[in-house]
A and B are shown apart, each in its own frame.
Chain A
Amino acid sequence: MTDFRRVLSVLAESGIEFIVVGGVAAAAHGSPRATFDLDVVYRRTPQNLARLVAALGPLHPSLRGAPPGLPFNFDVQTLKAGLNFTLCTDFGLLVLIGDIAGGGDYDALLPHSTLQAVHGASCRFVDLDTLIHLKRTAGRPKDFEAIAELELLRDATDRQQ
């Protein structure tokens, strides 16, 4: 089970630069759709990679779906060598995205995110327009229903303003 509030807390309190995308971002915007993992776009500066390793290392991250016993060192070298990592941690499922289709990297996404307070932690969430764009770009049939919902949410939000 993913305790995404604890994961968000760990990331935020460690000073990690990240932006929440995916299903948790949708939920933050009001979507009632369930999601069971936390997707974040992370900044790939050397300092942020080091912070990620320091913060997530104690949570024993491993590659989701990998054969048991497959060697995996969650360190700066590994993060540098890869880009996107689908992880199991002690607090659940976490997806680290270095570059997201339709959105680019952290710096490209940053102007399209907002800071939100979540149980004392300050976290960035991608904005609704961009979230819709990301899902449309991904083009996965399983997202069509979610896109419909998010666009209606956007319409409702626009009417409220």
Chain B
Amino acid sequence: MAPQRTRERSSIDDIIDVYKKDVDLGLLLEGLKLTVEQRLDRLASFIELAEELRSSVRAAKSAKV
């Protein structure tokens, strides 16, 4: 089902190539040093941080009103 690596280029390949230029390769390589469990823990930590920030902003906005 997953196509062969030598598939024909499609119309979105040019777009994806442009995005590839801006990808932080260092960050990707850091991720590859982690186990699957560590990678998911990293994601979970980020989600928790994002939620904390959202809560803080909401609280700050409520305080201003």
Interface residues of A (CB under 8 A from B): 1-5, 24, 27-32, 34-36, 102-104, 108-109, 112, 116-119, 125, 127, 129-130, 132-133, 136, 139, 144-145, 147-149, 151-153, 156-157, 160
Question: Is B25 located at the chain interface by the 8 A CB criterion?
Answer: yes
Would you list which residues of chain B between 4 and 52 have a CB under 8 Å from chain A? 5, 10, 12, 15-17, 19-20, 23-25, 27-32, 34, 36-37, 39-44, 46-48, 50-51
Q: Total A-B pairs in contact (CB under 8 Å)?
A: 103
The answer on a CB contact under 8 Å between A152 and B28 is: yes
B3 to chain A: closest residue by CB? A133
Main secondary structure of the interface of B (DSSP, over half): helix
Contact in complex: A127, B2 (CB < 8 Å): yes
Question: Which B residues have a C-beta under 8 Å from some C-beta of A?
Answer: 1-3, 5, 10, 12, 15-17, 19-20, 23-25, 27-32, 34, 36-37, 39-44, 46-48, 50-51
B47 near A118 with CB under 8 A, answer no
Q: How far is the CA of A78 from the CA of B1 in the complex (A)?
A: 29
**Could you tell me if A119 and B37 are in contact, using CB atoms closer than 8 angstroms?**
yes
Contact of A116 among B16, B23, B36, B46 (CB under 8 A): B36
Judge whether A151 and B37 touch: CB under 8 Å: no
B28 touches A130 (CB 8 A): no
